[in-house]
Each structure stands twice: as structure tokens, then as C-alpha cells.
Amino acid sequence: MRRVSANIALWAALLSTGVAGFGCSGTALTALDRQPVEASSVVIEAPADASRPPYHFAAEDERLLDAVQHGAFNYLWTAVAPETGMVRDRTSKPVVSVAGVGFQLSALPIGVERGWVTRAAAEERALLIVRSLAGNPNNRKAGLFYHFLDGTNAGQPQEAYERVVSTIDSTLLFCGIITAGEYFGGEVKAVGGALVNGADWSFFVAAPGVPMTGPAKDYEQGFMSLAWKPNSDSAPTGEGKLVPYFWLDAGDEQKLTVFLANSCTKAEHRVPAEMYYKLRRQLGSHADTGPFAWFPYSGALFTHFFAHCWINYAAVGPDDPQRFTTWPRARVDWWENSRRAIRMHQIKTTARTDLFPGLGENAWGLTASDAQGSYAVPGLYPARIVFKEELEGRDFSSFRPKDDFGDGTIAPYGAGSAIMFDPVAAVKAMRRFRELKNADGSPLVWRDPVAGGFGFRDSFSIRTDWAAPDCLAIDQGPLIVAIENARTGLIWNLFASNAAIRDGFRRLGLKPPAAAKTPGR
């Protein structure tokens, strides 16, 4: 099984079911407030003295981060299909996820700058990937890509978890293509740019008369579907329908997808800027976190850091929904929002000594990953804050999730990717994970990158001395990218250097983050 946001079957099942150090300007709220509040009066904002990335790390921490990134890069560089250069979705399967390829492309500049591969070799790999993607017309519809591809020819695989054209997985792919294009320039940017510019995002927006596999509710009209499904697997570019599940909430994947669709160079293929601000911003809080926006259908950590792999929200500050919509929406600094959500995860998981014995303050990192015998998406949630004049569907979901700690499985990439928000806790957790041993004294989770190992295994359970046998591209990818952003801001700078992306920021009323001079150009 795949993580919730990328798997339509899981989405269908879910949707059918029925402040110390974390300052906030505007209205002070807790989940215990009895009276509903005005959403537009709430501003989620970090204290003025909050330390924002890139951060300074001690030499010992730098060595740890080098090792973790090197291991992740080893996977993204070596676990590939030689015919197309694309990284495998997971160690044990030949199928390719285009989301993983997006992270792979973003990792190539890191590998060059860290000295693990030559610039010429990395550019050659990037060019092979974008040429392969461009060369097979059966891998996309309306310019967006199927979630899973055959690594040998970039076309339809014989077997796949699902056969849909995925808006989020295409988004992650395009972010990687943009990043690599800005770094290498030349043909990588030309071929990759043509792929990105060929996306017709308006094709995936629900509207009367648009073919769908099921009906859309009134409040879902005008939002993007998660995916398009062909009527026949034998005709992947023929007739088909949108699936009736939509990007409605301001989780990380939703924001990133709508942001990219707003940044499209062709106006007729773009989605309106107000869609970004109409995404639901349900607020909640827990203990000392202060209020933060949360996603009701998954409380996994990745829902708070995927967009930050490319968008430097730490440099943007609170946005202003009222410029674009009259719907009640809080103003949010999304970097601070993720910092608060991660704080909630830390508070809740460290109290569960029964599930995470011996990990103490490092018992966190609940996110989508392999678990014993399955693929799991555990998650944690705050208590919901009620707004005045809110409407079910438009402003909040009626779905009431419950905390799910799973079986005690922790994914190192969860705490590791949180380095963009809480570097001290993230480094401490990764160091502890690396030190864990089996009964025979061998490493439980760590595989030495100097010897060609992939660093952290995907996940582990200290309670049962189990570690996942596989590594996954969509987990190793955010880990290496997030750490690099926390150290240097490299991927943020490359992404923000793209002209279409900078135009996208401006359309949303946001000041584009400063883009440093591209290394190696």
C-alpha cells in the first residue's frame, strides 16, 4: 500500500468514514475556548526572535548530516533502472514512482555540491531521465504523469499499485525537474521545462459536465481532483474520468499542488490564485503548541513538510487569504505552522513509553512508511477550534479522526525531515536512531554509506527489534532535500530561481524568497 495522499483506494476508504516558544499574534486561542472565533482574526506567526533556516550546526552534527545525506543519495543514485536512469520506488520492486523521481532529480545538485558525484555525471543522469520521460507519450494525460511507470521505458508498467494520472505525484516530479533545470541549465532545462509547461492543470478541476467516476459535492466544484483514471488500461491516453476525491484542505501536498498549478506559464492551463486560499484551514491546538492548521485525513508528519522541500515558507511569513476570498480563513506562516504540528507530535509520542521503550525524547517520527507486514500511515491530531459562521464542507470536514500510533513503528525520515523546523530535536533523534543495535550488536537501522549503504532503513520498531528491509525513494528523497535546506537552502534557492515559480508567488500575493546565485553555473 502507498501513503494516503498518493493512493486512491485508501482515500476512498477514509472519505467514506464518516505555547512556550511557539508565539502567535492575533487572537490567542486554545482548543478549550467555548466560544467560536473569527477565523480572519487569527494570525499564526512565529515569535520575532525565532531562529529560521538555514541553521548553523556544530562540526559533530555536520558529520552526522553528511552521513545521513550520503546514504540517501546512494539510494537515489544507484537503485535505478539503467535504461532511463529513474530511481526505483522501493528497493525490492522495479516499478518507478514519478514522485520518487522528483526527489531524485532534486538530489542530484546535492550530490554534486557534496562531492559524491561529478557534475558531468549528474547532468548526464538528469538528461537521461527527462529525455526518457519526454520520449514516451503513453505516460501522461493533459501533460500530467501516471503515478507509476516502467523503469525500462518510462511507459506503462505490467504491474502497478494503481493506474491513475496523479496530480500530487506529477507535482513532486515537476518540482524536481524545475530544480534540476535551474542547476544544470542547457538541455536539462529545455527538455524538462517543456514537460512542466505542457501540464494542463485546468483539466483536473471539477466542474459541471466534466466526466467523473462519481459525483462531486457542491463545495468540491472548482477544486482539483487527486487523479484521472482511464476508461481502459490498454488506452492510457484515451478517454477517462476524474476520480471524485479532491484537494480541499491546506495540507502540504495540497498547497504544493495548487501552488504549482497557479505557476503554470500558460494562463489557460492555470488554476486561479483564489483556489490556494480557499483550501480549508481547519485549526486546532494541543498543550503548548498554539493554534495551527491541520489535515483531517492524515496526521502523518509528511503532511507538514513535503511542500517545504521546495518552497521556502520560512522566508515568506504570514499570507493574506482575505485579498483573494471572503471565505473565513486564518492568516498562516506555514513554516511556523509546521513547527507547531511537529511540537504536537513530539509531545504525544514521547509520552508513549509502552510503544517506544528506551527512546525517551527521541520517540517521534510517525509518518507514512513500511511497518511489519504492511504499509502504514499513523497520525496524530490536535483538538479542533471552531470558527464563527463556518460551513461544513466549505470550511471544515465533518470527519473526526483519532490519534493512531500504529504498532510503534518509527520512520527516521520523519524526524529527519523536521530538521527544517526543529534542528536540535531532529539531529538528536537521527543520532539516536543511528546508534540503535540488534541483539547481536549490529546496527538495527543504519547502513554505512561509505561502504555503499543507504543510511537509514525506511522504518523500525524498537519494541520488537524490527527494521524494514526496504528503502523507499519518497522517504529517502525528502530526507536528503530537507537536510540540505536546513544546512544551506540550496534546493529552496534553485526552485525560487525559476521565473515561472517567482510569477506564481506574485500571483498569490507573496513576496518570492531571495534566490541565491546558482552553484556550478
Instruction: Indicate whether 29 and 110 sit together in one domain.
Output: no
- Say whether 167 sits in a helix, a strand or coil: helix
- Mean pLDDT, rounded, for 419-441: 97
Instruction: Indicate whether 184 and 304 sit together in one domain.
Output: no
Higher per-residue confidence, 137 vs 9: 137
Average pLDDT of the chain to the nearest whole number:
92
pTM of the predicted model, to two decimals?
0.94
pLDDT > 60? residue 13: no
Residues sharing a CB contact under 8 Å with residue 485, sequence separation 6 or more, in sequence order: 53, 54, 308, 309, 312, 420, 491, 492
Please provide the DSSP assignment of 245-271 as one string: -B--B--HHHHHHHHHHHT-SSGGGPP
Domain finish residue from 248, 268, 291: 248
* Residue 362 counted as domain residue: yes
pLDDT one-digit tens code per residue, 85-117: 999 999 999 999 999 999 999 999 999 999 999
Instruction: Indicate whether 286 and 164 sit together in one domain.
Output: no
pLDDT > 80? residue 519: no
Instruction: Indicate whether 322 and 432 sit together in one domain.
Output: yes
Identify the H or E element spanning 178.
Answer: helix 167-184
- Mean pLDDT, rounded, for 338-351: 97
Alpha carbon separation from 182 to 94, 188, 258 (Å, rounded): 29, 9, 21
Residues sharing a CB contact under 8 Å with residue 16, sequence separation 6 or more, in sequence order: none
pLDDT in the model for residue 24: 36
pLDDT one-digit tens code per residue, 154-182: 999 988 888 999 999 999 999 999 999 99
* Residue 5 counted as domain residue: no
Distance CA 485, CA 339 (A): 15
* Residue 500 counted as domain residue: no
* Residue 387 counted as domain residue: yes
Instruction: Indicate whether 397 and 450 sit together in one domain.
Output: yes
Domain finish residue from 229, 248, 267: 248
Distance CA 97, CA 476 (A): 13
Alpha carbon separation from 233 to 301, 308, 410 (Å, rounded): 33, 34, 36
- Say whether 104 sits in a helix, a strand or coil: helix
Work out the pLDDT band at 510, boundaries 50, 70, 90: very high
**Number of folded domains in the chain?**
2
pLDDT in the model for residue 79: 98
Least confident of 34-43, 296-305, 417-426: 34-43
Query: Which three three-digit cell numbers place residue 380?
Result: 496524530
Work out the pLDDT band at 517, boundaries 50, 70, 90: low
pLDDT in the model for residue 1: 32
pLDDT > 60? residue 283: yes
- Mean pLDDT, rounded, for 367-390: 94
pLDDT > 50? residue 27: no
- Mean pLDDT, rounded, for 186-196: 98
Instruction: Indicate whether 75 and 43 sit together in one domain.
Output: no
* Residue 275 counted as domain residue: no
* Residue 478 counted as domain residue: yes
pLDDT > 80? residue 82: yes
pLDDT one-digit tens code per residue, 313-342: 999 999 999 999 999 999 999 999 999 999
Instruction: Indicate whether 190 and 306 sit together in one domain.
Output: no
pLDDT in the model for residue 21: 30
Instruction: Indicate whether 134 and 244 sit together in one domain.
Output: yes
* Residue 151 counted as domain residue: yes
Instruction: Indicate whether 43 and 96 sit together in one domain.
Output: no
pLDDT > 50? residue 268: yes
pLDDT in the model for residue 520: 52
- Mean pLDDT, rounded, for 200-204: 98
User: Which residue type does 247 have?
Assistant: W
* Residue 516 counted as domain residue: no
Query: Which three three-digit cell numbers place residue 95?
Result: 516499478
Question: Which domain range does residue 451 map to?
Answer: 19-48+281-487
Work out the pLDDT band at 12, boundaries 50, 70, 90: very low
CATH number at residue 365: 1.50.10.140
Instruction: Indicate whether 184 and 289 sit together in one domain.
Output: no
Work out the pLDDT band at 189, boundaries 50, 70, 90: very high
Instruction: Indicate whether 128 and 243 sit together in one domain.
Output: yes
Q: How would you class 129 by CB atoms within 10 Å of its CB: exposed for 0-12, middle for 13-18, buried for 19 or more?
A: buried
Instruction: Indicate whether 386 and 418 sit together in one domain.
Output: yes
